[in-house]
Chain A
Amino acid sequence: MVNSLVYILIFPGFLFLGIAGMFFEYIDRKLYAKFQNRVGPPWFQPFADFVKLLAKENIIPEKAERKMFQVLPFFAMAAIVTSFMYVPVWGTHALFSFNGDVIVVLYLLSIPTLTFFLAGYSSQSLFSMIGAVRTLTQFFAYEVPLFLTILSAALLAGTWSLSEMSVFYNQHHWLWLANLLGFGISIIALLGKLEKVPFDIPEAETEVVGGTFTEYSGKLLAFFRMTIDIEVVVCSALLAAVFLPFGMNLHPAIGFVLFILKVLSVVVLLSLMRSVFARLRIDQMVNFCWKYIAPLSFLQLIINIILRGTIK
Chain B
Amino acid sequence: MIKPGKMLRQVISSAFKKPATTRYPFVKFDMPEFFRGKIKFIPEKCIGCNLCMRDCPSNAINIVKVGDKKFKAEFRLDKCIYCSQCVDSCLKKALETTNEFELAQLDSKNLNIVFHGKPEEDIKTET
- Let me know if A34 and B15 touch, CB within 8 A: yes
Interface residues of B in 49-102 (CB under 8 A from A): none
- Let me know if B15 and A35 touch, CB within 8 A: yes
- Let me know if A34 and B4 touch, CB within 8 A: no
- Complexed CA–CA distance, A33 and B21 (Å): 11
- Let me know if A275 and B19 touch, CB within 8 A: no
Residue of A nearest to B22 (CB): A39
- Complexed CA–CA distance, A37 and B18 (Å): 7
A interface, by DSSP: helix, strand, loop or mixed?
A: helix
Q: Let me know if A36 is at the binding interface, CB within 8 A.
A: yes
Residue of A nearest to B18 (CB): A37
- Complexed CA–CA distance, A275 and B8 (Å): 8
Residues on the A chain within 8 Å of B6, using CB: 276
A34-B19, A38-B19 known; A272+B4 contact, CB < 8 A: no
Q: How far is the CB of B57 from chain A (nearest CB, A)?
A: 37
Residue of A nearest to B14 (CB): A37
- Which range holds the interface residue count of chain B? 10 to 19
- Let me know if A35 and B12 touch, CB within 8 A: yes
- Let me know if B21 and A277 touch, CB within 8 A: no
Residues on the B chain within 8 Å of A273, using CB: 5
- Let me know if B14 and A35 touch, CB within 8 A: yes
- Complexed CA–CA distance, A39 and B23 (Å): 9
Q: Let me know if A31 is at the binding interface, CB within 8 A.
A: yes
* A277 CB contact (under 8 Å) in B5, B12, B14, B23: B5
- Complexed CA–CA distance, A170 and B55 (Å): 84
Q: Let me know if B11 is at the binding interface, CB within 8 A.
A: yes
Residue of A nearest to B16 (CB): A34
Q: Let me know if B28 is at the binding interface, CB within 8 A.
A: no
- Which range holds the interface residue count of chain A? 10 to 19
Q: Let me know if B2 is at the binding interface, CB within 8 A.
A: no
Residues on the B chain within 8 Å of A35, using CB: 11-12, 14-15
Residues on the A chain within 8 Å of B23, using CB: 39
Q: How far is the CB of B41 from chain A (nearest CB, A)?
A: 40
- Complexed CA–CA distance, A76 and B60 (Å): 60
Q: Let me know if B7 is at the binding interface, CB within 8 A.
A: yes
- Complexed CA–CA distance, A37 and B13 (Å): 9
Q: Let me know if B118 is at the binding interface, CB within 8 A.
A: no
Residue of A nearest to B9 (CB): A276
A276-B8, A277-B4, A277-B5 known; A39+B15 contact, CB < 8 A: no
Q: Let me know if B20 is at the binding interface, CB within 8 A.
A: yes
* A39 CB contact (under 8 Å) in B4, B12, B17, B21: B21
Q: How far is the CB of B83 from chain A (nearest CB, A)?
A: 33
Q: 13 A–B contact pairs at CB < 8 A?
A: A34-B14, A34-B15, A35-B12, A36-B11, A37-B19, A38-B19, A38-B21, A39-B19, A39-B21, A39-B23, A272-B8, A276-B5, A277-B4
Report which B residues bind A (CB closer than 8 A). Answer: 4-8, 11-12, 14-15, 17, 19-21, 23
Q: A37-B20, A275-B11 are in contact. List 18 more A-B contacts (CB 8 A).
A: A31-B15, A33-B19, A34-B14, A34-B19, A35-B14, A35-B15, A36-B14, A37-B14, A37-B17, A38-B19, A38-B20, A38-B21, A39-B23, A272-B8, A272-B11, A276-B7, A276-B8, A276-B11
